[in-house]
Structure 1
Amino acid sequence: MPNSPAQAPDPNEQQTGRIQEYIHSPIKQKILYKRTLLIVIMSQIFGGAGLAAGVTVGALLAQDMLGGDRYAGIPAALLTLGSAAAAFFVGRLSDQFGRRIGLGTGFLLGGVGAIIVIYAAVSNSVILLFLGLLLNGAGNATNLQARYAGTDLAKPKQRATAISMAMVATTFGAVAGPNLVNVMGNVAGSFGVPTLAGPFILATVAYLLAGFIFFAFLRPDPFLVAKAIVKQEADHEKHNHSTQTTEKPLTEKMSTIAKRGIIVGTTVMVLTQMVMVAIMTMTPVHMQHHGHGLQEIGLVISIHIGAMYLPSLVTGVLVDKLGRTTMSVTSGVILLSAGLLAAVAPGDSLAVLIIALALLGLGWNLGLISGTAMIVDATHPATRAKTQGTIDVLVGLSGAAGGALSGMVVAQSSYATLSLAGGRLALALVPVMIWYLKKNARAS
């Protein structure tokens, strides 16, 4: 009989074999941790550029196609609603198949959504616009979920710093994006595409490149390695029967504290997201009403997005050093300041609006990193990706609510009313943190 052809290696077996190499080698784990951070940073530079498109011109595009301020908050609502749905989907994919598949697929969907938005603008189809914005939100969700990838192999005192490094990388693309509004508008016009759809051309390329980076380079998958390490540790513990009885009360206590940490971490991210999206969404419309052009709007939004991400390297270290609760309270106070300043800012004062939106971004940054670190601290690696995805759904829904309500509040009242309401809501973080500290003090 002729020799049978050699069988192609099974990719799953190869992946499992590579993961096993890392379980027993702390040195390899450290190398993979650093390599993962580098890959996340590369992808986030492109992801940030994609994120900026919908934030900068989404409301203006809807206003142009639908007419009136009442519907100007719909794009932000759709982007964040799509982000919420995608967060659930990406979380489940990551839990089942690892970060590489989950994050790569999420960015791919975001790029497809941007293409649909461009076609909707060309064909003046509101239905396609809504569909495209929903799918484009997947890129936004993935951009946020990528921050978790850097924490999978991080030590407890490295987690907030790892999150911050991913967010700093987002700054480069996120700040460049709004400042390219006019350039991309000219590019779009040369192809017969409406000017306001130009930034979505940038979003298409950026999200697809971010997805490619994860698909091509995130091997072995850090989340799968972390799960394998925890599984091995659990197997070893099963053989140690002597400590099971004494550890049970301690395990139950730790479980209660962990659940409380998940609840409080989620609350921090939900409140900060709702406040930030609501005020940010209506700022371009508010500025346009007071005679500011696209270039000035792009400048304000780019500084706002820069403040959302650029301080991360410092704030991440502060969260690790000073604690999650301290920085969460600081987040609430800064967001209150942003709301007050935006409310009293003269409509024609570019400088005051820049300061208000910069504070809004900084407050969101502190809340997101503090809340995320709480979640990572409180979750078990075996279920971490699924839990993170579910929590980001709530964060996305809160942003959708903030975006949808913002247009209605401004239409019925004013931008100042919206800003003041947002600031007051953010201040609720203070009593939440006081409650959290008291409960933990009683449990210890």
Structure 2
Amino acid sequence: MGILLEKDRDAVAIRCRAMPLLFAAVALTNTAMVASTTVATLIVADHAGSGVSGFANAAAVLGSAAGAFGLGALTVRHGGRRALLTVYLLGFLGCLVALLGGAGGLLPALLAGMVAIGIGNGGAQVCRYLATELYPEDRKAFGLSVIVWAGTVGALAGPTLIAPAGRLAVGLGLPELSGALLLAAAMTAASVLITLALPAATGAAAHTGRPPLTWRALGAALGRPAVRLPLTAMLGAHLSMVTIMTMTPLQLHEHHQGLGTVGWVLSAHMVGMFALAPLSGRIADRFGGRVAIGGGTAMLVAAALLVVTAPTAYSLALPAALFLLGYGWNLVFVGSSGLLSSGLETAERVEVQGGVDAIVFVAAIAVSLVASATFAGGGFAVVAVVGGVIALAPVPLLVRGVRWSLPRD
């Protein structure tokens, strides 16, 4: 009994040391990602036209997919701390390359830097799974939700820091827009230093030293029933959110709404996406990941219906819809992540989790293009209908699971 208590005390000590460090590094990396993608889009638009401005964000998302998948493979080979150090260091180097490209008007360098910044961001996203190892079985969803909560910092701080960073850049003799990239470099450097202080045991459970899974083995793992529901749910929620959210600023702009309205609506969305993540973790731990997915899916559909019925109600209905859209995504995201943490063998868990995130990131690029075409052809209400339908993707799997769980005669 004393030995067990000693192990429990050691686990609590490691958790108390590791969680603040994981949280801080993720918050800094997310803030760097938000700030850098915002200004990179503007820099590309200034030098090559608005028609290709989306390439900056696409490069960052592609990098995020690579970082999500790469963190899993690196963790298996070298452990969680070294894996995080690698992706965060690549993110820092990416900031430096992007800074040189942005300041000098060298768009290939800027886009290459954005890919590397995305790698750091992808690693930060998958980092939530490393946090689950630090918690007992009945609190794993809460543990990962705390790391998701770190996204609140980036979502709220990233845009507000762009202007002061621009003034700093001007004072240093650099172009104003390059200031956010300079800030991002400082933040990712801090993430590297923070990660150096992580306990060596962080992510140790997944460290087997074996080669990464082959593509065939990973594909087979992604097709298992334990993975199929969370993967489908994450895809449905993320693509539904991206479909509606990315077209919201354009809807506001075309109806001559000012920046104050844009900020109010998007702030409501960001609060929904991140601020209540610990609540989602409690729900998933208490009632199960399937309940969290079902509740989040219902919220996503409700958000879409609210947009369809009131697409120009900018003062109340649209902010409420975007809040529901964000929190519905959060519930599904946390519930699905919790299922992935409990439904896989330790030896393959982190690689499959990274593979799921990578698939979601890549699919988001394609759906953003579809959303643009849908908006141009049918308007915002049609975009909302498409988003609501996409959100229903996990419903057949949820219903099938309920049917199988009912007692048979």
TM-score range, shorter chain: 0.7 to 0.9
Contact 1:50/1:139, CA 8 A, preserved across alignment:
no
Structure 1: distance between partners of 2:268 and 2:188: 21
1:178 to 2:143 alignment: no
Contact 1:328/1:367, CA 8 A, preserved across alignment:
yes
Query: The residue matched to 1:383 in structure 2 has which SS?
Result: helix
Aligned length, in residue pairs: 395
User: What root-mean-square deviation, in Å, do the aligned CA atoms of Structure 1 and Structure 2 show?
Assistant: 3.3
What residue number does 2:193 align with?
A: 212
Contact 1:307/1:358, CA 8 A, preserved across alignment:
yes
Change (3 A) 1:351 1:75: farther
Contact 1:39/1:217, CA 8 A, preserved across alignment:
yes
Identity, in percent, stands at 28
What residue number does 1:12 align with?
A: none
Map of 1:135-174 to 2, 5 A cutoff? 135-174=116-155
Structure 2: distance between partners of 1:208 and 1:334: 38
Query: The residue matched to 1:382 in structure 2 has which SS?
Result: helix
Change (3 A) 1:301 1:198: farther
Structure 2: distance between partners of 1:109 and 1:78: 14
Q: Deviation digits for residues 85-143 of structure 1, max 9, x if unmatched?
A: 11111111111111111122222222333333333333333333332322221132122
Contact 1:82/1:138, CA 8 A, preserved across alignment:
yes
Contact 1:39/1:218, CA 8 A, preserved across alignment:
yes
1:223 to 2:217 alignment: no
1:90 to 2:71 alignment: yes
**TM-score in terms of structure 1 length:** 0.78
* Structure 1, 325-334 or 35-44: larger mean CA deviation: 35-44
Contact 1:331/1:367, CA 8 A, preserved across alignment:
yes
Change (3 A) 1:54 1:403: farther
Query: The residue matched to 2:247 in structure 1 has which SS?
Result: helix
**TM-score in terms of structure 2 length:** 0.84
Change (3 A) 1:286 1:63: farther
Q: Deviation digits for residues 147-178 of structure 1, max 9, x if unmatched?
A: 11111132221111101111223313331222
Contact 2:227/2:343, CA 8 A, preserved across alignment:
yes
What residue number does 1:246 align with?
A: none
Q: What is the CA distance between 1:65 and its match in structure 2?
A: 4.0
Structure 2: distance between partners of 1:338 and 1:197: 36
Counterpart of 1:31, as a letter, is A
What residue number does 2:339 align with?
A: 374
Contact 1:114/1:136, CA 8 A, preserved across alignment:
yes
Query: Gapped runs of 5+ residues in structure 1?
Result: 1-20, 229-254
Query: The residue matched to 2:346 in structure 1 has which SS?
Result: coil
Q: What is the CA distance between 1:61 and its match in structure 2?
A: 4.7
What residue number does 2:8 align with?
A: 26
What residue number does 1:39 align with?
A: 21
1:385 to 2:331 alignment: no
Contact 2:85/2:192, CA 8 A, preserved across alignment:
yes
1:400 to 2:365 alignment: yes
* Structure 1, 268-277 or 367-376: larger mean CA deviation: 268-277
Structure 1: distance between partners of 2:252 and 2:53: 13
Query: The residue matched to 1:222 in structure 2 has which SS?
Result: coil
Contact 2:35/2:161, CA 8 A, preserved across alignment:
no
Structure 2: distance between partners of 1:212 and 1:278: 36
What residue number does 1:187 align with?
A: 168
Counterpart of 2:22, as a letter, is V
